Chains A and B, each alone.
Chain A
Amino acid sequence: MIELEDVSHSYGGAELLSGISLRLQPGSFHFLTGPSGAGKTTLLKLCYAELRPTRGRVRLFGAELAGMDRDAVARTRRRIGVVHQDCQFLDHLPLAENVSLPLLVAGRDVAAEAGNLRELLAWVGLQAQTEALPPQLSGGERQRAALARAVIMDPDVILADEPTGNVDWEMSLRILQLLIELNRMGKAILVATHDLNLIRAAKAQVAARVLRIKGQQLQQAGAEL
């Protein structure tokens, strides 16, 4: 579904990632670790085409990113659910409207999908906060809302960038459970995190592969994980 082949990325001439190859298959679960600034977020952005590689090839659902125009990239992003650490909400819209935003931009009838939206908000435990504005939500609620928004289009891939970065351990486990549930539905999951305990908790339940960015390269993580 998402394939990176010998990909490199530079910022202003300084190479952050070099010769990265990665393949996300249906039903796969990957963790991406590495120190801050190693390039985890950059790698995720390459996966959902917010960035284009300075070298190498990115294939999204069989199509070469290099040959995609802006509209094609936008359409492809609807098949990829993204959860950011800072959630990226529109603060002036209530939670329900934020979560249904992908439906709106895709031209779907939001009113007709109200039932699905309610079910989804109940799944992440936010059925009581539909009218709350994002700044009124706690960190855990925001992360779960971001996850709900990421899956409302029923994407094939979920990319999560430090989804438990701002929440306590109990909430981290809850978010992890939601990701595992999605993975069991056949969705490919890639989670960038520096929380090793979260990775260990996940590995106890799913066959997750752990990757580490070190020295601009992507490596298989060691046996300690």
Chain B
Amino acid sequence: MRRLAPLAALLVGDARADRVVPPSGFTAHLTQFTAAAMAFLTVFALALSLAAGRLADHWDEALARTATVRLSAPEGQMAAQTEAILEVLRTTPGVAAARAIPDEEQRALLEPWFGPDLPVETLPLPRLIEVTETEAGMDAEALRFRLAGEAPGAVLDDHGRWRRPLIEAAGRLRLLGWLSIGLIGAAMAAMIALSAHAALAANARVIAVLRLVGARDTFIARAFVRRFTRRALEGAAAGTALGMVAVALLPRADAAAGVLAGLGFRGADWLVPLLLPPVAAAVALVATRITAMRVLKGIT
């Protein structure tokens, strides 16, 4: 508790001590605007990261325990080989369920590309068999070997080939989002440090007077730190609120439409952006304190 006392004192402040630095014009607005703009951008980067994470999890969960057997066989042998494959699958350890996808479903899968009038029955389409694995999973290599013996035209696709790059892409998108948040934070720290530097330079006379009457560097720095921290907090709160409203107003779409359509917050995700104002204030506090102590050390 004793360690938290200085932080509490800093946040609560001292009206008299704060007044020693005159209210300044452009640095105040610059800090607030920077914090607001950065918080606004961070809300979107957060939304992107969280959406990418959700998408990666969705793909991973949906596809991890499924596989497809694709059977190409002469017209007369299709039904017999399908039955043989289903029999193999029924006796394969790790397979929870298997079913041949009926023509109507296959038509539905192709409809988005060819339209509703596609005469599927006239096309030499392979038969698709959907396989659902148990939690333990199956031995894909052993199954391929058995399928080759029972139905030479059958190909087992365990989705790994295209699932991995998709999940990898979503993971990288999420990483990109977090990287953007880090860069935005660093840029905000740099902007606030520059503003603090300008404010310290503009108040050289105030600093000289405070030094003359026995002020320690920490007292002088605190007056600036409190001011910049409060401005960053106010700016970031405004930027976050605007960002959250903007995200809420994004058009809704089916999750299957991809990450952009799914951009936004869901459920408890809405609480995450609320952390931005205090985090921005903490960034401002550290940036201003480091700048102030460095500048004051350079003044005799």
Contact = CB atoms under 8 A, between A and B. Distances in A.
Contacts of B205: 88
B212 A74 contact: no
A105 B16 contact: no
A88 B205 CA distance: 8
Interface in B185-238: 205-206, 208-217, 219
A145 to B, nearest CB: 13
A74 B215 contact: yes
Given A50-B300, A51-B300, A97-B16, A102 B213 contact: yes
B216 A74 contact: yes
Nearest to A89: B209
Nearest to B215: A105
Nearest to A111: B16
Contact of B212 (A82, A110, A153): A82
B22 interface: yes
B19 interface: yes
Contacts of A92: 19, 22-23
Contacts of A93: 19-20
Interface residues of A, number: 27
A75 interface: yes
A146 B219 CA distance: 21
B17 interface: yes
Interface in A70-117: 70-71, 74-78, 82, 84, 88-93, 97, 101-102, 104-106, 110
A74 B215 CA distance: 6
A219 B211 CA distance: 30
A105 B213 contact: yes
Contacts of B297: 70
Nearest to A91: B22
A153 B19 contact: no
B214 A77 contact: yes
A79 B176 CA distance: 57
Contact of B208 (A88, A91, A101): A88
Contacts of B20: 90, 93, 101, 104
A104 B206 contact: no
Interface in B138-173: none
Contacts of B219: 105
30 contacts: A50-B211, A50-B212, A50-B300, A52-B300, A70-B217, A70-B297, A71-B217, A74-B211, A74-B215, A76-B214, A77-B211, A77-B212, A77-B213, A77-B214, A78-B213, A88-B208, A88-B209, A90-B20, A90-B206, A92-B19, A97-B16, A101-B20, A101-B210, A101-B213, A102-B213, A104-B16, A105-B210, A105-B215, A110-B16, A149-B213
Interface of B: 16-17, 19-20, 22-23, 205-206, 208-217, 219, 297, 300
Interface of A: 50-52, 70-71, 74-78, 82, 84, 88-93, 97, 101-102, 104-106, 110, 149, 153
| 4 closest residue pairs by CB, A with B | A78-B214, A105-B215, A77-B214, A92-B22
